[in-house]
Structure 1
Amino acid sequence: MHSGEIARAWFDMCRMGDVGLFADLATEDFVCHGPGGAGDRQTFLDWLRWYPAAFAEQQPSIEDVIDGGDRVAVRYAVRSTYLGGYLDLPGRGQNVEETGIIIFRLSGGKVAETWFEGNDLEVAQQLGGRVHAPEH
């Protein structure tokens, strides 16, 4: 698969929570990096089972794919319906838009490592979350 196909397959996998597709796309020693730190294959699988249940009816849009050999950068947007389970924010079928960048490291034609940066604060605000400034 070339980089654009890998990116599309990755977002399809996330949209469907497809554990079998993850097995096809990722190496056995897969590592993910994100706002919560680094995780292994099982950490990602736990997230993969949770994500489409919390954010349903996903409509991913791949905005840019930059192929750097064994590194691929993808800028994306995902529109979805929030059903609950994120930061204790109640799900009321709200429409949300998530944007971000994922960098994939490839090894042997599979994803060996990812780095994710998303607009988590904006997503929380779209769902009614409030940011409180610390008191001085």
Structure 2
Amino acid sequence: MTDAATLAANRLIGRRVLLELWGAGKLEVADELYAPDYVDHVGRGPEASRVVGPEGIKQAVTLFRSAFPDLTYTVKEQMAERDLVCTRFAAQGTFKGPFLGAAPTGEVVRYTGMDLNRIRGGKIVESWVNYDALALLQQVGLVPPVKGI
């Protein structure tokens, strides 16, 4: 069983990832919060691409923040148990730079999601992130909206 102080510290790590790293673009936070062997389980199947280590997460943050430089996150809910922290969030930012081949529109985009982080020794070692990628891709014009939904 994990003690209350460790669970509180782990929840703070989950908040800092969204608010300081992704939301404020403080890339140095990645070195503080992510283990060198960190793996973000993105994509499908065992051969899917992976974000690895603090440098990998910095690249992902830079990609998003170059397209949405005023990106902000709001933590909606958090739960922590054992070595896992789940954070439900809402994000928004103005589409001011190219993103995955889409030209910027100057429009505000919004999406929601959840991070599940495994924390060991005060560092994130694994993440599983699910966010409403369809809504994001529709808002930047890469996927047409579905009528009637």
- Which category describes the TM-score, using the shorter chain as reference length? 0.7 to 0.9
Name the counterpart of 2:129. 116
CA offset at residue 84 of structure 1? 2.6
Q: 1:67 to 1:130 in 2, by over 3 A?
A: same
Task: Choose 59-68 or 3-12, whichever is displaced more.
Answer: 3-12
**Deviates further, 1-10 or 78-87:** 1-10
Corresponding residue for residue 76 of structure 1? 89
State the percentage of identical aligned residues. 23
What amino acid sits opposite 1:85 in the alignment?
A: P
SS of residue in 2 equivalent to 1:57: coil
| Between structures 1 and 2, the one with greater strand share | 1
8 Å contact 2:39–2:50 — kept in the other structure?
A: yes
Tell me which residue corresponds to 1:64. 77
Moved over 3 A (4+): none
- Quickly say closer, same or farther: Cα 1:87–1:50, change in 2 above 3 A: closer
Distance in structure 1 (CA, Å) of the matches to 2:106 and 2:56: 27
TM-score (norm. length: structure 2): 0.79
Give the match for residue 7 of structure 1: 14
TM-score by length of 1: 0.86
| Contact preservation (8 Å) 1:3, 1:65 | no
Q: Say how many residue pairs are matched.
A: 132
Q: CA RMSD in A?
A: 1.9
Deviations 1:10-54 (A, max 9, x none): 011112332211101111111111236423123322212222111
Deviation sequence 1:74-97 (CA, Å, 0-9, x none): 111101111232221110211011
Contact 1:104 1:114 in 2 (8 A): yes
Whether the 8 Å CA contact 2:10–2:122 is kept in 1: the answer is: no
